[in-house]
Amino acid sequence: MIRSTALLAIAAIALVGCTLSNGVSQTQERPDGAEAGTCWAKQIKPAVIQTSTTQSVISGQDGETIYQTETSQSIVEEHQEVWFQIPCQNVMTSEFIASVQRGLSARGYYAGPINGRLDTRTAKSIRLMQVPLGIDSQVLSILGARHLGLIIIPIE
């Protein structure tokens, strides 16, 4: 009984939020203003820092040459939190994932089996497809699903 309770607690913690190796976290939290009942993922883009090194020649007291090196760093691009909408878990059925695999395959991003599993090969293919859309993530976004023709595009 204690063991099963511990396993349920661990599973609950895992469902509340997880961070993938690419800096994307899937949580129940949403960005401000997001519609209730929608699902979101957040990608953390690290800051881009440029390091510059300059070297100067200084004459010593005895006419010797002395070199002085100065290093400085500057932030070129600030760190960012990028939110993107994702299909909710109830949508991510094996049939839907198989459709994702077929769509990726038809567009030349996926060469694996159509097995309905969100495996490493499928996740990497999702990322390759989404990078040109501005989403550098292995987590399927709503935009990516629409790009594959799997989710309806709303009429304005």
Report phi then psi at 5, rounded to 5.
-65, -40
User: In angstroms, rounded to a whole number, what is the distance separating the alpha carbons of residues 69 and 55?
Assistant: 4
Q: What is the pLDDT of residues 67-121, one digit of tens each?
A: 889 999 999 999 989 899 999 999 999 999 999 999 999 999 999 999 999 999 9
Q: What is the pLDDT of residues 23-44, one digit of tens each?
A: 455 556 788 898 988 999 998 8
Instruction: Indicate yes or no: pTM above 0.85.
Output: no
Q: Which helix (H) or strand (E) holds 80?
A: strand 80-86
Give yes or no for a contact between 75 and 117, defined as CB atoms under 8 angstroms apart: no
Q: Quick one: pLDDT at residue 133? A: 94
User: In angstroms, rounded to a whole number, what is the distance separating the alpha carbons of residues 119 and 74?
Assistant: 39
**In the chain, what are the domain boundaries?**
2-44+83-147, 46-77
Neighbouring residues of 130: CB distance < 8 A, sequence distance ≥ 6 = 136, 137, 140, 141, 143, 144, 147
Neighbouring residues of 142: CB distance < 8 A, sequence distance ≥ 6 = 84, 85, 86, 87, 151
N-to-C CA span, the chain: 53
